[in-house]
Structure 1
Amino acid sequence: MRDNNNASSSRSGSSNPAMSPNDPSKGGKPEVVTWMSLPHKPQLFILAICRLSEPLSNTCLLPYLYYLIRSLQTSPDTSPASISRQAGLLVSLFAFSQFATSVPWASVANRLGRKPSIVIGLVLSIVSNIGFGFSTSIPAVMCWRVLAGIGNGNTGVMRTMTAEIVKERKYQSRAFLLLPLVFNSGVVIGLALGGCLADPIVNLPWLFGPTGVWNFGKDPEGVAWMRAYPFALPTLFNAAVLSISLFFGVFFLKETMPGKTDHKDYGIVVGEAMKSLYRRIFHKESGSGYGYASLQEEDLGNEVSNQLEPPTPKTPGFGLSITSRAIYTREVLVTIVSFGLLPLHNSAFMQVFPVFLSTPYFKNTSPTALKFNGGLGMSSPTIGLFLSAFGIFGILIQLCIYPSLQAWLGTLRSYRVALAVFPIAYIVAPYLCLIPETNVALQSLGIVCILFLQVTARTFGIPSSVILLTNSAPTPLALGAVHGVGNMISSLARAVGPLIGGVIFGFGHDIGVVGTVWWGYLMVISVLGLAWSWMLKEGERPREMGRGAIELGPARKEVDAEKGEEGEKEALCPK
């Protein structure tokens, strides 16, 4: 790889000597990075399907959240404002638990390894999903949401694992895009199936109703257990998907923590035995024999373990603690603040918007530019399909547009462009309730416009924020701690955001100004985040510089075209 890079740099330098390759990604004709050129694809794939845990556990309930809380109320005259406040609390509990456990998860990952923390988290997610679906009271669903949040407090560990799997900077954009891409996929699945599978006797009568195909007991009111637990089916689906993730995580995911990659993993041993058995049963008569088996091993993740480590001396098997003062540089602190501001309003939108769409329509007789009230009164399947459709849109622009935009503008400028779009969506959103309820086409068009702006902004903003956080780490040993702190702050923001959003939405509904939460909270925080982004720096990926020598900070300078990437490495020096 080094020879190819140097050769490429030499060619670009000879053809256009005036071109300055301060950044190999911008100077000359860099090697084109595609999804297929990513290193360690099987490991990244397994890590990606493990990442499905959070979006499935957290977003599945959003389309039916309003109706779930209404069904669990003991008082029949509960107002939409009260439901909104309880919805905000229920969503916040998940993120509060993530926040409270992100530091312990970072400690577990640094002591036991990255893989055990991911596997334990998946087990907790499966149990909590099943328990949530069969709960029949508000306190019970809140307890299960807390357990689900605990199980998903290891998001920072997954980001750290991505950084340890993919070490070369040229692959960084696509590698760090993978987890948000899978997150969006999980959001799509969770929202669509959450909306459609909730209350299946009503929403899917042809399957589970009185004459439904799967009403084997021929119950005149529909499948009996679904009548008793109308919101269990979406969570059972989540548990089934996460069981598949758990299977691959236990038997095929390899440890990446420096110093632990050579330890014996009995899960991998069993996985290898299963692959051998699979090949003996299904490929016994294959004429290509060993060559075919070799391809199978690579496809299922059986890469040589030392491929996950560079050919440099091993780093000690521990990372810097989050209590270490060495990790809290100015770049890290400024980036962490920005990392927290984005989910502070984005998570609130994800909770407020479905509740706003579910809130009954209110006929405003004499509305003003600021004072009007109500929602759109939509059903949970309609809400789920709208949100999931734009989840698909987010995936498409992540795949097709974001890498090119990031390469053209750079990570920081892409981040600022995304942050500038959020306030526009928040200013316009509340006016949807002024559209007559009979004009479904115009209502749908308005929802499409709001979701287009918001989803585009978050699709560009989230992966950029993760890259900026990674590049702010002063040393590779600080990656786990930096992502642990970042995940803790992000979880706190995602806990506080929906809670505040739900309270302000309820307050605005009570005083007859539904725009209160949109203009007084979401827009204000998004503008603050945009202003704060001018404090950030682009940064460089921290690198190990050999035995005992750790890069503590990037220092850029001009590098001759003939030196290419190696010249850039020589230009870096410790603080």
Structure 2
Amino acid sequence: MANPRDVEECERLLGVSASEEKSIPIAVRAIEEKVTWKNLPHKRQLLLLALCRLSTPLSNACLIPYLYYLVKSILSDPDHPSAPQKISRLTGLLVAAYPLGQMSTSMLWGRVSDTYGRKPAILIGLFISVVANLAFGFSRTIGMLLFWRVLAGMANGILGVMRTMTAEIVKERKYQTRAFLAPPLIFNSGRVAALAIGGCLADPVDNLPALFGPSGIFNFSGNPKGVAWTLSYPYALPALFNGVVLSVCLMLAALWLKESLPTKEKDRDLGIIIGKTISGFIRNKILRKPGLEYTAVQIEEAEILMADVPIAQASGSSTPTDNISRSYRPAFREIWTKRLLKTLFAFLLLPLHNSTFLHIFPVFLSMPTTENKHPTIFHFTGGLGLASPTVGLYLATFGICGILLQLFLYPRIQKYIGTIGAFRFANSIFPFAYIYAPYLSLLSGNMVEKWPAMAVILFLQVMARTMAFPSTVILLTEAAPSKSVLGTVHGAGNTLSALASAVGPVLGGILLAKGIDMGVVGLVWWSWMSAVAFIALGWSFVVSGKEHNAAEGCME
């Protein structure tokens, strides 16, 4: 039997009493009971928004498999005994440059989007991202590489705007768990492709000799060493791929992505007008399906209307407090409630250790192996000596694993233990991955055992972050004092996330180099990543999720 206090809490959160709930139409209650990917509203808009999210994995993840070799190719003396330490420090700077750029503009993008609209901010950011990616591939000095990485990060400060847009597109709370999972699914798919393509397209004369080698298909000039421009710019091909894909995403967003800011969504949009013209031409002249446009528009409008109608209104009662909360916009000082500040700190801790892992682990896999003749439990060093295509494909394989976990595992876990429960469970997994990861170097010479050992470490980390990231986004959205300041809240979250993503790799690179000098390659894993992961686990019990989980329980 239900606890009377639980029933009262549900009534308070939903604004509907038990007697009123009985008057809700059976069809409406049936819809409330079941939330699936199929009945998720506004899927086309979510897909377009998710495609815009590709700018982050393509800009940030594509270079991970070959970053070690890119920096090594620029050094004047790459074979010097101190080269691995120098490479680890420089790779840390290059990885950190991107989130530093994000941090510098995230709040600005949030405030601009709250004033001028979400779509203009996203389009401008995508355009700058295209330019920065193309220029990065043709840079051959550390200074220029850092500059274009910072600019790409500044362009991708729009991540908070995209998260805000997701919340505005899907207004009903019961759909938001899956709605917030949709962009990360495309994000992770893009990350998988970026890792695989970045590893395989880097240094194409060596990695793709059939296409770019001395007798390759694209060696039109007959250069005896291979395609000339790939010899001068061996890491430009992944950047060209990024630029082309992001240009397509920019075009699709300009033509079909709709504005979601309430004060701007009714404004005239030239891109949408052109997009509708193109859609109508394709539908009527090519697909020969006239007369469908009116029906599609009406269905979409009905979905919008249904999403805006609270449950209590469906039964004939009104909820004036909901209308007040929608129209009220708190002052800037009033935004930073105690609950929001706690959630923002949790939002900071997660990328602090995760970004370090994403930088250190591929470098660790690429580092040359070392023969540890007399290793102790802490004193051993060396990497695994894997080539960039192997690193990229291996990381991409587990990226696919992350997509499957997001599709099938996270929604079920979140349903049974709630968002805050899933967040705490995820934080309890990270320390295990970080504590055991450095011991992989002791298996570098074992061709059988090292692969399953690597798989276990990667699986733990991927599973944890798959559950942690959507949970933090949902918790941050719920912690916002008003929907009218979601852009500012997510801008603040993205700023802190970018700060953490910059600090983590820099400190990680320094500690990795220090550990190599000391003969303790696990130094960065144990003194930094594990320590931050344990702090994040403890803080997850400070973050409040009661209101959110209670409401979700009522709706289910």
TM-score, structure 1 normalization: 0.86
Of 320, 325, 332, the residue aligned with 2:333 is: 325
Counterpart mapping for 1:324-403 below 5 A:
324-403=332-411
Please tell me whether residue 422 in structure 1 is matched to residue 430 in structure 2.
Answer: yes
CA contact (8 A) 2:107 2:495 kept: yes
Counterpart mapping for 1:92-171 below 5 A:
92-171=96-175
Of 452, 461, 465, the residue aligned with 1:454 is: 461
Q: Determine the structure 2 residue equivalent to 1:44.
A: 46
- In structure 1, C-alpha distance between the alignment counterparts of 2:190 and 2:488, rounded to whole Å: 26
CA contact (8 A) 2:328 2:482 kept: no
Of 197, 200, 216, the residue aligned with 1:196 is: 200
- In structure 2, C-alpha distance between the alignment counterparts of 1:520 and 1:282, rounded to whole Å: 62
For residues 144-187 of structure 1, the C-alpha deviation after alignment (integer angstroms, 9 at most, x for no partner) is 10110011001110010001111111101101111222221111
CA contact (8 A) 1:33 1:170 kept: yes
- In structure 1, C-alpha distance between the alignment counterparts of 2:214 and 2:133, rounded to whole Å: 27
RMSD (Å), alpha carbons: 2.9
- In structure 1, C-alpha distance between the alignment counterparts of 2:75 and 2:305, rounded to whole Å: 55
Secondary structure at the residue paired with 2:65?
Answer: helix
Secondary structure at the residue paired with 2:405?
Answer: helix
1:532 Cα deviation from its structure 2 partner: 0.6
- In structure 1, C-alpha distance between the alignment counterparts of 2:343 and 2:444, rounded to whole Å: 44
Q: What one-letter code is carried by the residue in structure 2 that aligns with 1:424?
A: F
CA contact (8 A) 2:420 2:545 kept: yes
Q: Determine the structure 2 residue equivalent to 1:473.
A: 480
- In structure 2, C-alpha distance between the alignment counterparts of 1:222 and 1:109, rounded to whole Å: 47
Q: Specify every segment of 5 or more residues in structure 2 that has no aligned partner in the other structure, as ranges.
A: 19-28, 310-321
CA contact (8 A) 2:356 2:505 kept: yes
1:290 Cα deviation from its structure 2 partner: 1.1
- Name the stretch that deviates more: 355-364 or 473-482: 473-482
Q: Determine the structure 2 residue equivalent to 1:70.
A: 72
For residues 385-439 of structure 1, the C-alpha deviation after alignment (integer angstroms, 9 at most, x for no partner) is 11100000000010011101100110011111100000001110001111142x2
CA contact (8 A) 2:41 2:303 kept: no
Of 175, 179, 182, the residue aligned with 1:175 is: 179
1:213 Cα deviation from its structure 2 partner: 2.1
CA gap 1:298/1:219 in 2 versus in 1, 3 angstroms: farther
Q: What one-letter code is carried by the residue in structure 2 that aligns with 1:230?
A: P
Q: Specify every segment of 5 or more residues in structure 1 that has no aligned partner in the other structure, as ranges.
A: 1-11, 542-553, 569-575
- In structure 1, C-alpha distance between the alignment counterparts of 2:251 and 2:171, rounded to whole Å: 26
Q: Determine the structure 2 residue equivalent to 1:60.
A: 62
1:34 Cα deviation from its structure 2 partner: 0.7
**Of Structure 1 and Structure 2, which has the larger fraction of its residues in helix?**
2
CA gap 1:236/1:296 in 2 versus in 1, 3 angstroms: farther
- In structure 2, C-alpha distance between the alignment counterparts of 1:227 and 1:101, rounded to whole Å: 36
Q: Determine the structure 1 residue equivalent to 2:259.
A: 255
- Count residues with an aligned counterpart: 527
1:348 Cα deviation from its structure 2 partner: 0.3
Secondary structure at the residue paired with 1:155?
Answer: helix
Q: Determine the structure 1 residue equivalent to 2:317.
A: none
1:280 Cα deviation from its structure 2 partner: 3.4
TM-score, structure 2 normalization: 0.89
Secondary structure at the residue paired with 1:135?
Answer: coil
CA gap 1:212/1:333 in 2 versus in 1, 3 angstroms: same
Q: What one-letter code is carried by the residue in structure 2 that aligns with 1:330?
A: K
1:377 Cα deviation from its structure 2 partner: 0.8
CA contact (8 A) 1:208 1:222 kept: yes
Secondary structure at the residue paired with 1:248?
Answer: helix
Q: Determine the structure 1 residue equivalent to 2:22.
A: none
Of 35, 38, 41, the residue aligned with 1:33 is: 35
Q: What one-letter code is carried by the residue in structure 2 that aligns with 1:221?
A: K
* Percent of residue pairs bearing the same amino acid type: 48
- In structure 1, C-alpha distance between the alignment counterparts of 2:494 and 2:47, rounded to whole Å: 22
- In structure 2, C-alpha distance between the alignment counterparts of 1:481 and 1:146, rounded to whole Å: 22
- In structure 2, C-alpha distance between the alignment counterparts of 1:179 and 1:87, rounded to whole Å: 28
CA gap 1:45/1:319 in 2 versus in 1, 3 angstroms: farther
Q: Determine the structure 2 residue equivalent to 1:545.
A: none
CA contact (8 A) 1:165 1:308 kept: no
CA contact (8 A) 2:433 2:457 kept: yes
- In structure 1, C-alpha distance between the alignment counterparts of 2:353 and 2:423, rounded to whole Å: 15
CA gap 1:313/1:466 in 2 versus in 1, 3 angstroms: closer
Q: What one-letter code is carried by the residue in structure 2 that aligns with 1:518?
A: W
CA contact (8 A) 1:320 1:480 kept: no
